[in-house]
């Protein structure tokens, strides 16, 4: 995918914990996501215990005998401890509830997904950035090395046996921590760097994967097993029908490309991944539902419903767990037309959503996750601000007497290039249904309409204080940067959107530097994120 996201932000309050380390000779030290030198508190879970086997959680299995650190309920093991079990617990222990108290786990309802794409070349996220998410998708596994003009494709479609998680490095402890907190961690294969169907793109690495579906599926499933992922996402934005609906596109294709090869690839890879993932589950005893398999197609590739990609996905719908359609490639513009309208867009989002929920899937709206673009989609006029996104999701819930009230959730697309003076608007989705209406924050200015760059210590500071207008860094006082504030607003968007308002104070909001982080969606802390999820999905 071309854009990544910003995770819901929150502040994590750390508490002082008393550690009761295991006694050497009686309890062997083990390191998984935690261990003798890695506390659960350091991973963002201050009230959790590190079990004998090196995983964070609560209850006797974690805080009892041989607890390594945290609020352990037992001291050192007794002189004559009971015999150990014949084998350690599965490296995927039953996920405890998140420390914030929000009640979701790996078997969360299918109508309450909140998905974040994690750029594996960027900085690792903090607990405050990932806490509220149900799914974290590692982007990407690829078959190329990056180059500025055209990526260097591996002509055998070879992919690295180990995929970086963040900071261009593997980080198994972080994956284990996410999963222990009830999240699913999915690997994404593909992305725009593999090749795109839009004008001007030079990449064609997909061509070299055609006909190699068996080996590719085997390699991807091996990575999933070795790095303990919960499934796979296929992000294919390349051509597949240049003799039909995509005539004149993908001039960068090689001699290896044909429509038939591309279509066979999409069908065969999906099928082989499902078969191999199911077989893996039998072998390794994976116990978090079935391994998840999804695609993230552009809306332009899903219309009309007779399109080849649509029909391939429909034929393979039993293999898919859900779909992540991008409702922001110009075909639909729900943020302007409303969920049920058209005009700015060629068709209504309701029409496409209905087609996906009722035709591609079999009357299963809970398998369709609605995708928004917060910024960087100006070329198609598809950027949606916070109020627009909330309106679309609320209209989706009540459309046609609640036909789609149990929809698959939502995701928000964000740019990732760290450019201090370029636009970094952020969606601040407000929540509803809270009985605690906030008082006006004394540091926030009145809401005014503005598209100007402004000086501030952070994007939030520039926006909420309506800092001096700037064109570049040279226009700003020392210690501040020239930031682009949230599109259309200067002043507190959360305080300005009434009667739907956030209960979080400006001082509690997560402030970042103007330089872009990798996470997507909203400037809310986790408690607000949970209220948002309850508002959107209940």
Tokens matching residue 308: 């080849």
Query: Which pLDDT score, from 0 to 100, does residue 443 have?
Result: 31
Tokens matching residue 463: 């926006």
Report which of residues 416 and 353 the model is more confident about: 353
User: Per-residue pLDDT for 151 more than 80?
Assistant: yes
User: Per-residue pLDDT for 448 more than 80?
Assistant: no
Query: Which pLDDT score, from 0 to 100, does residue 24 have?
Result: 35
Report which of residues 343 and 33 the model is more confident about: 343
- Whole-number Å distance between alpha carbons of 489 and 494: 10
Q: Is 512 left (phi over 0), alpha (psi -120 to 50) or beta?
A: beta
Give percent of the chain with pLDDT exceeding 70. Answer: 68
Query: Which pLDDT score, from 0 to 100, does residue 125 have?
Result: 86
The neighbouring-strand residues paired with 169 are 166
Cβ atoms of 281 and 309 closer than 8 Å? no
Predicted confidence (pLDDT) per residue in 197-222, tens digit: 999 999 999 999 999 999 999 999 99
Which residue is it, tokens 């249904």? 433
Strands 322-323 and 370-373: unpaired
- Across 297-311, 332-346, 494-508, least confident range: 494-508
User: Per-residue pLDDT for 469 more than 60?
Assistant: yes
Query: Which pLDDT score, from 0 to 100, does residue 515 have?
Result: 25
Predicted confidence (pLDDT) per residue in 370-401, tens digit: 888 776 678 888 888 868 878 998 899 999 99
Looking at 99-230, which runs of residues are DSSP E strands? Answer: 113-119, 135-141, 144-145, 152-153, 184-190
- Whole-number Å distance between alpha carbons of 190 and 144: 10
User: Per-residue pLDDT for 25 more than 80?
Assistant: no
Query: Which pLDDT score, from 0 to 100, does residue 393 have?
Result: 83
Query: Which pLDDT score, from 0 to 100, does residue 465 have?
Result: 67
Query: Which pLDDT score, from 0 to 100, does residue 11 have?
Result: 24
Domains and CATH numbers, the chain: 11-89 (no CATH), 113-413 (3.20.20.80), 424-523 (no CATH)
Query: Measured in whole angstroms, how far is the alpha carbon of residue 497 from the centre of its chain?
Result: 26
Strands 49-50 and 56-57: antiparallel
Tokens matching residue 400: 């046609």
Pick the closest to residue 339 from 291, 263, 395 (CA basis).
395
- CA distance to 127, 156, 176, 269, per residue, from 256 (Å): 44, 12, 40, 17
Tokens matching residue 219: 């390699």
Query: Which pLDDT score, from 0 to 100, does residue 440 have?
Result: 28
In the predicted model, what is the mean pLDDT of residues 468-473?
81
Query: Measured in whole angstroms, how far is the alpha carbon of residue 310 from the centre of its chain?
Result: 23
Burial zone of 233 (CB within 10 Å; 0-12 exposed, 13-18 middle, 19+ buried): buried
Query: Which pLDDT score, from 0 to 100, does residue 252 have?
Result: 97
Query: Which pLDDT score, from 0 to 100, does residue 237 have?
Result: 95
pLDDT grade for 507, boundaries at 50, 70 and 90: very low
Pick from 49-58, 72-81, 244-253, 434-443 the range whose average pLDDT is largest: 244-253
pTM: 0.62
Query: Which pLDDT score, from 0 to 100, does residue 293 have?
Result: 98
Query: Which pLDDT score, from 0 to 100, does residue 451 have?
Result: 52
Listing DSSP states for 71-126 in one string gives S-SS-SPPSSPPPPPSSPPPSSPPPPPPTT-----TT--TT-EEEEEEETTSPPPP
């Amino acid at each position: 995918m071309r854009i990544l996201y910003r995770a819901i932000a929150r502040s994590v309050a750390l508490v002082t914990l008393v550690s009761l380390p295991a006694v050497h000779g009686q309890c062997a030290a083990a390191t998984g996501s935690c261990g003798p030198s890695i506390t659960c508190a350091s991973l963002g879970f201050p009230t959790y215990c590190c079990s004998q086997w090196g995983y964070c959680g609560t209850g006797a299995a974690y805080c009892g005998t041989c607890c390594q650190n945290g609020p352990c309920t037992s001291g050192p093991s007794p002189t004559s401890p009971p015999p150990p079990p014949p084998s350690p617990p599965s490296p995927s222990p039953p996920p405890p509830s998140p420390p914030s108290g929000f009640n979701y786990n790996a078997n969360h309802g299918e109508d309450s997904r909140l998905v974040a794409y994690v750029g594996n070349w960027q900085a690792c996220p903090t607990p405050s950035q990932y806490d509220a998410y149900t799914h974290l998708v590692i982007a990407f596994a690829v078959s190329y090395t990056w180059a500025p003009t055209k990526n260097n494709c591996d002509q055998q479609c070879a992919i690295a046996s180990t995929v970086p998680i963040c900071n261009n490095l593997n980080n198994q402890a972080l994956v284990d921590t996410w999963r222990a907190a009830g999240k699913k961690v999915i690997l994404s294969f593909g992305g725009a760097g593999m090749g795109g169907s839009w004008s001007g793109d030079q990449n064609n690495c997909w061509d070299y994967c055609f006909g190699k579906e068996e080996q590719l599926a085997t390699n991807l499933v091996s990575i999933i097993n070795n790095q303990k992922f919960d499934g796979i996402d296929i992000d294919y934005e390349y051509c597949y029908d240049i003799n039909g609906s995509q005539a004149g596109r993908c001039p960068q294709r090689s001699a290896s490309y044909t429509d038939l090869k591309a279509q066979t690839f999409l069908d065969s890879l999906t099928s082989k991944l499902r078969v191999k993932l199911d077989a893996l589950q039998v072998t390794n005893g994976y116990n978090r539902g079935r391994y998840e398999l999804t695609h993230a197609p552009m809306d332009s590739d899903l219309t009309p419903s007779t399109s080849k990609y649509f029909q391939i996905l429909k034929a393979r719908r039993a293999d898919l767990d859900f779909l992540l359609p991008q409702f922001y490639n110009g075909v639909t513009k729900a943020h302007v037309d409303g969920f049920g309208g058209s005009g700015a867009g060629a068709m209504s989002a309701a029409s496409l959503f209905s087609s996906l929920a009722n035709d591609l899937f079999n009357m299963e709206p809970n398998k369709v996750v609605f995708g928004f673009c917060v910024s960087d989609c100006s070329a198609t006029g598809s950027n949606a601000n916070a109020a627009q996104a909330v309106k679309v999701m609320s209209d989706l819930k009540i459309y046609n007497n609640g036909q789609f009230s149990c929809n698959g959730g939502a995701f928000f697309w964000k740019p990732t290039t760290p450019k201090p003076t370029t636009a970094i608007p952020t969606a601040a989705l407000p929540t509803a249904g809270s009985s605690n209406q906030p008082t006006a924050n004394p540091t926030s200015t009145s809401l005014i309409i503005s598209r100007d760059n402004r000086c501030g210590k952070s994007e939030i500071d520039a926006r909420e204080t309506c800092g001096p207008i700037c064109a570049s860094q040279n226009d700003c006082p020392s210690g501040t940067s020239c930031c682009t504030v949230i599109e259309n607003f200067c002043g507190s968007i959360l305080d300005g959107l009434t009667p739907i308002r956030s209960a979080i104070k400006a001082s509690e909001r997560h402030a970042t530097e103007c330089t872009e982080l990798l996470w997507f969606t909203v400037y809310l802390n986790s408690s607000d994120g949970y209220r948002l999820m309850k508002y959107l999905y209940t």
